[in-house]
Amino acid sequence: MGVVGWTLVVGINAAIIAYGLWKSRETHRAVDWMLAARGLPWWMVGLSMFATAVDSGDYVAVAGAAYQNGMNFITDWWLGITIGWMLVAWAVFLPMYRSGMFTNAEYLERRFGPSTRVISVIVQVLYRTNVLGNVAYSLFLTFDILTGWGHLTWYLVVAIAAGAAIYTATGGLKSVALTDSIQSIVMLVAAVVMWWIVYDKVGGFAGMEQTLDEAGVGENVQVAMTHVGSHLEEGVPAWLVILGWIITLSAYCIVNHSQSMRMLACRSEWDVKMAAVFASVVTAIVMWFNVTLGILGRGVRPDLPTEQADQIFPILVSELLVPMGGVLAGIVVAGLLAGGISTFDSIGSALAVVFTRDLYARFLVRDADDRHYLWVSRITTVVVIGLSFAYIPFLKMGMVKFYLEMVGITVLPLMTVYLAGIFTPAHPASGLVGLLVGSGVGLTRFLSVQLADRLPEWLIERFGGELPIWWANKWYGFLWSIGAASLGILLTTLVLGVASRDRLRGLVVWLPRPPDDDDTDREDSGPQGNWLEQTRKELVSLPSHPFDDPGVSLPLWKRPWLWTVVVLGVLSWLNLVVLW
């Protein structure tokens, strides 16, 4: 790639990390480390949400998934994550924000009991370290091509992860949010540059279609590359795939504390909602380039085997970018690296907070001081990032495919419990039942598919020689997981009755707690470690919006609901009409 290119890669990211380390000097309390003292503005939170959601895995894995699935994959990023962010900003996270909670898992104990809080910690650690494994693997695939080091490239990837872990552990959320904001700009520029290079080389979408035609690629594949309404899996309707993508990213927003951590750190409810709008717009723009990059990749390699689809981005880098060398190559690789670092720091810090508050301080060591828990969070950050490398051997089936299987088993039942807690008067005991039933069904479906060749012959023959698509296919599997969890919650509530209004007050979106009730005597529904209560009291009461007089009605153009409707409307029209 040349001296100039590598100088840009190292220089840009080293400067960002150095800035993060410099800002970390301001972090002295756990409240600062975990929630930035609830003082972050909407634009910083929005950029940080984007940088957390879009990582180096979303250059490699997203390009690979788009190469396999075609244009319908844009739904994941145009509607799925947008609907998810709007849902949490306007409903799911509001009771948590108003009650001064630090984590989304904390809410589950208040609503459903301590067992759900512990399960949430376990699910988040398994779910999000999988993503960190994706990031590490993506960096390896790309840097292996750029350096030609082979397996020695893993030493470089480990060094990158270690650097991210150090500045994250030192500074916490404020440092991470600041560096995320800068990294997001680098990522945007890199995405545009890479896309333009490939678009120009391939001859646009028309050139890509011509290449597919000349290579004898089936017409169904050609149509799927440019139309959301087409899908390559037989027996699976397009509407189910679109619904599946929406469910996947909505679950990501609800369950993942690296998102709730940022929203709960906003300086006002107005900032929470505007951050969701801003993050949606930035993500939609960047992911158009990242998704269509994988589609345009068909114009370079029209018929890669399915198991090699994740290689399309490294191939494009190797064949089109590296020969150019110089500034352009340096910018793209710098953006890829920035995306990886931003996700290492975001997920590492979020899981550290979840472990420290929701498991360690709540159940294991309750009476230590603030300094002790701050150091536990810092150490956990490094450990979490290190453990994520254990997922790498399992990614051979394809990064997105493995991710989707994880979602169906653990994340969707947990999402269902959150939604039931926020919107319904479900009985407190129903949360655990819903989690166990939903995860049990999801795991049963996954194992039956993986071990199909070991199932009794009479059972397979009953379904015509193979498992029925309504059971075996992952898109139908999403509905099984959600349906089973919902049924468990419903039946438990019908038997035991709905929760009392006193227990629900402040925990459901339709029954807020009065302003003069600080709710400090009900946290965690049981005995408290002093530190949990003390840090909660350190959070100041925040206004509904950050402008001079919170009591004054805002002009129309400053109202979040207007921008929410506009963004959702435009993206829905583009996704379901223009590209259909």
DSSP string, 62-106: HHHHHHHHGGGGHHIIIIIHHHHHHHIIIIITHHHHHTT-S-HHH
The answer to whether position 563 is within a domain reads: no
The rounded Cα 132 to chain-centroid distance in angstroms is 11
Q: Is residue 147 part of a domain?
A: yes
| 66: in domain | yes
Q: Is the pLDDT of residue 232 over 80?
A: no
The overall average pLDDT reported for the chain is 85
Confirm whether 573 is domain-assigned.
Answer: no
Query: For 28-57, how does the pLDDT look when each residue is reduced to its tens digit (9 = 90+)?
Result: 888 889 988 788 999 999 999 998 888 766
* CATH code assigned at 325: 1.20.1730.10
Q: How confident is the model at residue 1 (pLDDT cuts 50, 70, 90)?
A: low
For the chain, what is the radius of gyration of the CA atoms?
A: 23
| DSSP secondary structure letters along 530-550 | HHHHHHHHTSPP--SSSSS-T
Mean pLDDT of 460-480: 79
Pick the more confident residue, 391 or 53: 53
Output the pLDDT for position 577. 92
117-120 contacts, C-beta under 8 A, 24 or more apart: 117/358, 117/362, 117/524, 118/358, 118/359, 118/363, 119/414, 119/432, 119/435, 120/255, 120/354, 120/358, 120/414
Rounded CA gap, 99 and 96, in Å?
A: 5
Nearest to 349 by CA among 372, 373, 379, 370: 379
- Structural domain of 143: 2-18+32-423+500-533
Distant-in-sequence contacts of 5-8, Cβ < 8 A, 24+ apart: 5/325, 5/326, 5/327, 5/329, 5/330, 5/333, 6/330, 7/330, 8/327, 8/330, 8/331, 8/333, 8/334
Q: What are phi and psi of 451, to 5 degrees?
A: -110, 25
Q: Please report whether residue 279 resides in a domain.
A: yes
Residue type present at position 37? A
- The SS3 call for residue 131 is helix
CA–CA dist 137, 148 (Å, integer) = 15
What are 408-448's pLDDT values in tens digits?
A: 788 899 999 999 999 999 999 999 999 999 999 988 888 88
What distance in Å separates the CA atoms of residue 420 and residue 295, rounded to the nearest whole number? 38
Greater model confidence, 3 or 231:
3
pLDDT-based confidence at residue 273 (cuts at 50, 70, 90):
very high
Residue 547 within a domain: no
Domain assignment of residue 313, yes or no: yes
pLDDT for residue 463: 60
Per the structure, how many domains does the chain have? 1
In a domain, 527, yes or no: yes
The verdict on pTM exceeding 0.85 is: yes
